[in-house]
Amino acid sequence: MTDRAGDTPLYSIAVAAELVDLPAATLRLYEEKGLVKPARTQGGTRRYSDDNITTIREVAALQEDGINLAGVERVLKLRAENAELRRRLDD
């Protein structure tokens, strides 16, 4: 088995929706809100990576906890800032 980067676009929207057990419309909404950014083929077809799948699961879990999409966006930004600060401290 070969190792691949987590950002390698692999999955169609139908497969991604099945992997996260959500409707494809929800994935399109998450993209519209800027919460997930799947790659696009030359023909415009969405391709989701393993990193995208992880993010979608995080968004869904936060929503299940009662956080609206604006709040989810803020949580994701704060997590990214926190991770960057931790990287800087480790260097």
Are the C-beta atoms of residues 54 and 62 closer than 8 Å to each other? no
Are the C-beta atoms of residues 6 and 49 closer than 8 Å to each other? yes
The C-alpha atoms of residue 91 and residue 18 are separated, in whole angstroms, by 39
**Domain parsing of the chain, residue ranges:** 13-90
Q: Whole-prediction pTM value?
A: 0.88
pLDDT digits (tens, 9 = 90+) for 10-37: 999 999 999 999 999 999 999 999 999 9
**CATH classification for the domain delimited by 13-90, as one of 3.30.930.10, 1.20.210.10, 1.10.1660.10, 2.40.30.10:** 1.10.1660.10
User: Smallest Cα–Cα separation from 57: which of 78, 80, 76, 42?
Assistant: 76
Q: What confidence score (pLDDT) does residue 3 get?
A: 74
pLDDT tier for residue 2 given thresholds of 50, 70 and 90: low
The C-alpha atoms of residue 48 and residue 17 are separated, in whole angstroms, by 10
Are the C-beta atoms of residues 16 and 48 closer than 8 Å to each other? yes
pLDDT exceeds cutoff 70 at 1:
no
